[in-house]
């Protein structure tokens, strides 16, 4: 029951958002410079692994919301206690998935996310004692494998052409400017402050929307 409690949901949301903000600050200060192709592939592989981990966290947050909603926890006297955690989990869950899997995805990103999502849904629906970490392992493994295959293929393309493009396949589409407005410095700070207050209130048996 602890894994389906509002306090657990807020802890996961708070910790993941802190790491998300830290990675955003670090990546802004360390722009990828032109370097050896092997180092570029290594850097991009680590970057894609981080993205697939956050996409997994997003699915887990949405899973927590579904469990909260279908375990008779929404009722008179309890709705006001879980309303804020549900809102935070839905917002961050959708944000993580869209930002990490659909903002500027290459074909390898979509395949890795699809495989991870399929394993997660199958484990949740049909496994007697689901180990949801298996979905994360599948996502990370697919990401590393597909990225290496993509890098080798692009190397063959560059060997056949004088201008073969980058070390990895370009994204199919790119909505980074739109997502940049959502995950700007002000938005990140505001969400972090709200999550911090909600976390303290949860440990006191209260919530931001307990007045509802």
User: pLDDT tens string for the chain (212 positions)?
Assistant: 556 788 999 999 999 999 998 887 776 545 455 566 677 788 888 989 999 999 999 999 999 998 887 765 555 457 778 889 999 999 999 999 999 999 989 899 999 999 999 999 998 877 766 678 899 999 999 999 999 998 888 777 655 565 555 678 888 998 888 887 777 888 889 999 999 999 999 988 888 887 76
- Distant-in-sequence contacts of 187-192, Cβ < 8 A, 24+ apart: 188/17, 188/20, 188/21, 188/24, 191/17, 191/91, 191/92, 192/17, 192/18, 192/21
pTM to 2 decimal places: 0.86
């Amino acid at each position: 029951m602890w894994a389906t409690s509002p306090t657990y949901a807020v802890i996961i949301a708070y910790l993941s958002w802190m790491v998300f903000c830290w990675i955003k600050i670090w990546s802004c200060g360390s722009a990828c410079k032109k370097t050896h192709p092997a180092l570029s592939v290594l850097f991009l592989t680590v970057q894609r692994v981080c993205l697939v981990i956050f996409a997994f966290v997003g699915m887990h947050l949405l899973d927590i919301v579904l469990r909260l909603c279908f375990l008779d926890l929404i009722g008179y006297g309890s709705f006001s206690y879980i309303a804020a955690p549900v809102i935070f989990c839905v917002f961050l869950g959708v944000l993580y998935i869209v930002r990490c899997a659909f903002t500027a995805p290459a074909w390898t990103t979509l395949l890795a996310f699809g495989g991870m999502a399929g394993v997660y849904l199958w484990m949740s629906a049909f496994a007697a004692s689901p180990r949801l970490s298996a979905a994360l392992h599948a996502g990370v493994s697919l990401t590393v494998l597909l990225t290496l295959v993509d890098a080798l293929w692009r190397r063959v393309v560059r060997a056949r052409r004088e201008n073969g493009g980058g070390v990895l396949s370009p994204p199919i589409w790119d909505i980074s400017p739109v997502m940049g407005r959502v995950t700007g410095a002000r938005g990140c700070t505001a969400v972090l402050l709200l999550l911090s207050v909600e976390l303290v209130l949860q440990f006191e048996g209260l919530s931001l929307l307990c007045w509802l």
